Structure 1
């Protein structure tokens, strides 16, 4: 069974190594991890971004499930590309799992980026836009897409010291995926 490994790790300096580690964890649980940087793309080509897009969609089409790293990236919410990939897989009725190494509530994180105040029974930011405040760790569409698959967002009780390289929550998702896809319990 193939599982698509989505997340902003592809932007880390050791991105290839992170993909290798994630794929090894998948293999320990009888799954084959598909990591976006495993695609062969000519990054010097004028259409490199389109090649990446098409290659990632082909990988997702091959996969039975996705594990999406929804740890906030360059802002208070998840990486936009990862969110697209989660929606792509959910829209195809595939098993969707996700984790975030940041256990805090979305509205609290928004406060780290802009002024937030209560107004007329809702939270608003510095330009008057409503801040989603349901006590969830990110946008309700992502959280409930995971819930609809029967796989709620996995978060640690306490944020790990290395937000981008701690794979404890990732492995918890892989264990659930393996059990759901194979029907057999997995190690750990």
Structure 2
């Protein structure tokens, strides 16, 4: 059977997929049902495998060859969150990755506040499920020693799915060094709130440190480390790692 280029409808679906959008958002953008989009994607993938479609190049083929990285972090709360997201995605593209940024989806304007929150949650969960790797910004957020709670949740969810988790911090200071001690006891130092400051020589809580490969540096350094592992053909899993960049 001769190969052919994708139809206009197929290209529209594949281009949105290539942007990292989940099925529900693709359906919303095209005015279709999620079920119809899923069926269309399955048909496209089958025809690609069978060699019946031969675009140059196929977005879905690029997606198959380029690891998809979910960009977790409190960067979504920056004043320039959208612009920073584009910067992070460009860093990914420069290294042969597809960056999935939590703010890529457009929240339907008809949704009320809490419904909008649930929509964002569901969209981000779908993005994480679709990702090959999760990369998280674990710098302190709104307090010494504590990363963003939403990011911590996403790291845990990715770990539960068995996905490789990479993270970065701007410095290698340990929790014990960064959190001010207000008192000491037989078990160690306590913060002003009266809680023990864990001291395992780690820069973040052990549940994060043991589930992620941590790079000291920024997102570019972390992506470089991931790229290096991918090029070596070695597993990108592993926690308690510490690489200075």
- Using the size of structure 1 for normalisation, the TM-score is 0.80
Counterpart in 2 of 1:140? 206
Counterpart in 2 of 1:61? 129
Counterpart in 1 of 2:216? 155
- Name the structure where helix makes up a greater proportion of residues: 2
Counterpart in 1 of 2:69? 3
Deviations along 1:98-130, one digit per CA (max 9) or x if unpaired, are 00114322123221xxx5222114112234321
Counterpart in 2 of 1:178? 227
> Contact 1:110/1:116 (CA < 8 Å) preserved in 2?
no
Counterpart in 2 of 1:94? 163
Question: Is 1:75 equivalent to 2:136 in the alignment?
Answer: no
The number of residues matched between the two structures is: 165
**Higher gyration radius (CA):** 2
Measured at CA, do residues 44 and 182 of structure 1 come closer, stay the same or move farther in structure 2, by a change above 3 Å?
farther
Moved over 6 A (4+): none
For structure 1, the 5+ residue unaligned runs are 147-151, 157-168
Query: By how many angstroms is 1:154 displaced?
Result: 1.1
SS in 2 for 1:90: helix
Counterpart in 1 of 2:87? 21
Measured at CA, do residues 41 and 119 of structure 1 come closer, stay the same or move farther in structure 2, by a change above 3 Å?
same
Measured at CA, do residues 37 and 127 of structure 1 come closer, stay the same or move farther in structure 2, by a change above 3 Å?
closer
Question: Is 1:120 equivalent to 2:223 in the alignment?
Answer: no
1-structure distance, mates of 2:193, 2:74: 28
2-structure distance, mates of 1:24, 1:37: 15
Measured at CA, do residues 38 and 125 of structure 1 come closer, stay the same or move farther in structure 2, by a change above 3 Å?
same
Which shifted more, 37-46 or 72-81?
Answer: 37-46
Which shifted more, 64-73 or 93-102?
Answer: 93-102
